[in-house]
């Protein structure tokens, strides 16, 4: 059952990534990604895994402020904990990917590269998107100032030849 839930969560999220990365301009992609329903479904799966896969000792261990990396490694060695942790990643990465996609559409910034990175390394994709937006906005700002400068400069006519 746990393996089925784990695989189901992976396969459930994949079409949303395909839409955002490969078909970003499709009207259906925007409609689908504006909904929070896919995120809510995965969050419910996570909640189920959390409630059914963690006992009191596990929860107490996670809440220990002295939790060491070694302790955490032992906790994640349990399949129930690892499945919940992985679904946690899927939910949060898809949520961030959705935000990147929607913000990119609103700001008219290309996002496929950021989304691809977010799919495989969430925070890296987010960082690349933030850099992309900053670079595009800087370029647009410079172009805008250059165009304004050309419009505000008085035109100088060449002197007319006398006959």
What residue numbers bound the domain in which 36 lies? 2-152
Q: Average pLDDT of 109-129?
A: 97
Q: How confident is the model at residue 65 (pLDDT cuts 50, 70, 90)?
A: confident
Give percent above pLDDT 90 in the chain.
74
Distance, in Å, from the CA atom of 5 to the CA atom of 8, rounded to the nearest integer, reads 5
Q: Residue 159 domain-assigned?
A: no
Helix axes 2-22, 27-34, angle to 10 degrees: 130
Q: Residue 78 domain-assigned?
A: yes
Distance, in Å, from the CA atom of 140 to the CA atom of 92, rounded to the nearest integer, reads 31
Please say if the pLDDT value at position 163 is more than 60: no
CA distances from 105 to 42, 64, 100, 114, 118 (A): 24, 42, 9, 13, 16
Q: Residue 133 domain-assigned?
A: yes
Domain count along the chain: 1
Per-residue pLDDT tens over the stretch 100-117 = 999 999 999 999 999 999
Give the predicted TM-score (pTM) of the model: 0.84
């Amino acid at each position: 059952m746990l393996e089925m839930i784990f695989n189901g969560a992976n396969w459930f999220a994949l079409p949303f990534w395909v839409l955002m990365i490969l078909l970003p301009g499709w009207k259906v992609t925007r409609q689908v990604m504006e909904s929070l329903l896919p995120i809510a479904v995965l969050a419910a799966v996570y909640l189920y895994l959390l409630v059914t896969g963690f006992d009191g000792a596990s929860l107490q261990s996670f809440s220990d402020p002295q939790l060491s990396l070694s302790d955490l490694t032992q906790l994640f060695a349990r399949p129930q904990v690892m499945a919940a942790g992985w679904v946690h990643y899927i939910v949060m990465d898809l949520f961030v990917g959705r935000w990147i996609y929607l913000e990119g559409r609103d700001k008219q910034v290309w996002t496929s590269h950021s989304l691809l990175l977010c799919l495989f390394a969430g925070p890296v994709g987010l960082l690349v998107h933030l850099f992309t937006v900053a670079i595009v906005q800087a370029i647009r700002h410079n172009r805008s100032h250059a165009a304004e400068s050309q419009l505000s400069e008085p035109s100088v006519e060449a002197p007319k030849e006398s006959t």
